[in-house]
Amino acid sequence: MKKKLPEWVPENAGTGFTTHILPLYKSRNNSNPSIVQKHIKDTGEIKKKINESLSLSEYKEGVLAKDKVILARAITLVESNADKHFDLAQELIKEILPFTGNSIRIGITGVPGAGKSTFIETFGLHIIELGKSPAVLAIDPSSTVSKGSILGDKTRMETLSKNDNAFIRPSPSSGNLGGVTRKTKETLLLCEAAGFDVILIETVGVGQNEVTVRSMVDFFLLMLIAGAGDELQGIKKGVFELADAILINKADGNNIIATQTTNTIYNNTLHYLADATPGWKTKSYTCSAKNNIGIDNIWTIISQFVDYTKKTKIFQDRRHQQTITWFKNMLHEEVLNQFYKKDNMKSKLDTVISEILNQKITPVVGVKKMMS
């Protein structure tokens, strides 16, 4: 009797399409029942972590134990906009706060196509060799339909994502300006509590608005490429004046001369910009993330920066200011939420918008009307 093949096998596939189904646990491990039982137990525990509701203590213990499954669930919890998750998420953040603050926080932004993801993977593998444990918070552009991530950085950092010492969390930007999500700060704290000692935040990378990440990191790296036209603009405000270092990527092959030229231009023009960090002169460097050239130098620069800022107490002062900024941002958000939750606010808002569209009032008058 001919065996029935899976439904996904093409009809009349013939011998050229090789497929068969392995019986469950029919392998060399059959001779060792304990291995089979362990596999069943481990699989069951993972399913439990994913499917069952977790208590505050289970979340906390899992995060502190560096359990990646529970860490991922904890991040999902704090990213949730559901009211039912808010209290538990905030309790969790409060519980893990004493275990945070021991990492180096690095923000990475740059023009699309600069090779940020390739750099992060190469850089992450390098610092793992140095005994570090990196967590990557990759903020992806969001679908305007589903609000989910479009790019999915785990697929672009395949080698790093498979390393036991690394953790990668792609999150949709959900249309937020500044290149990061509303909950990036909380996610960062969870990763710190889990014991990851280098936190890399990769922003969406859409241009000069990628500045919000500056308010939550210690070191801010701007990545560029030669020939993008930015070198012609010389002294550029915005994201340029916030960078602690500029990195010209793709210094390989036929692009080496162009990269070196661009690097020289940037270093000449950076003299005209104020220091992003007092006493630390921002400089431009080159690298090839693809060929792992210059990566070790970037880690040396970051280490020197951390040593300098800790010695001068800039490091701690900046962390304190970032906490204040975080509080104020959350306060502004909550004020807006409470405003829109007021009775009949939606109908009133629709009325004012209609008046504006019909040119009965100006948007400025519409704001005054809503606030009254």
Give the pLDDT of residue 27: 44
Phi, psi for 285 (deg, rounded to 5):
-135, 165
SS3 115: coil
What is the rounded average pLDDT for all residues in the chain?
81
Per the listing, tokens 């939750």 go with 341
SS3 265: helix
Task: Indicate the residue type of 39.
Answer: H
Which secondary structure element, helix H or strand E, spans residue 201, and what is its range?
strand 198-202
For residues 282-295, average pLDDT: 95
Tell me which CATH code domain 101-312 carries.
3.40.50.300
Dump pLDDT digits (tens) for 121-152.
999 999 999 999 999 998 765 443 444 444 44
Range among 34-43, 91-100, 111-120 with highest mean pLDDT value: 91-100
Structurally, at CATH architecture level, domain 321-371 sits in Orthogonal Bundle (1.10)
Burial class (CB in 10 A: 0-12, 13-18, 19+), 108: buried
Phi, psi for 12 (deg, rounded to 5):
55, 40
Q: Place 212 in a pLDDT band, splitting at 50, 70 and 90.
A: confident
pLDDT exceeds cutoff 80 at 231: no
Q: Place 358 in a pLDDT band, splitting at 50, 70 and 90.
A: very high
Residue ranges per structural domain of the chain: 37-96, 101-312, 321-371
Task: Indicate the residue type of 218.
Answer: D
Distance CA 269, CA 291 (A): 28
Closest C-alpha among 212, 146, 157, 209 to residue 182: 212
Phi, psi for 237 (deg, rounded to 5):
-85, -170
Class of domain 37-96: mainly alpha
Q: How many helices (H) and strands (E) does the chain have?
A: 12, 7
Closest C-alpha among 88, 93, 95, 91 to residue 53: 88
Closest C-alpha among 90, 87, 85, 48 to residue 69: 48
Which secondary structure element, helix H or strand E, spans residue 245, and what is its range?
strand 245-249
Strand order in the sheet with 198-202: 167-172, 134-140, 198-202, 104-110, 219-225, 245-249, 283-286
Rama region for 284: left / alpha / beta (φ>0; ψ in -120 to 50; rest):
beta
Distance CA 135, CA 92 (A): 19
| pTM to 2 decimal places | 0.78
Q: Degrees (nearest 5) of the Cα angle 169, 330, 352?
A: 110
Distance CA 181, CA 22 (A): 43
Tell me whether the CATH fold assigned to 37-96 matches the one assigned to 321-371.
no
For residues 323-327, average pLDDT: 90
Q: Place 210 in a pLDDT band, splitting at 50, 70 and 90.
A: low
Cβ 168 vs Cβ 160: under 8 Å: yes
Distance CA 140, CA 184 (A): 12
Per the listing, tokens 């509080």 go with 327
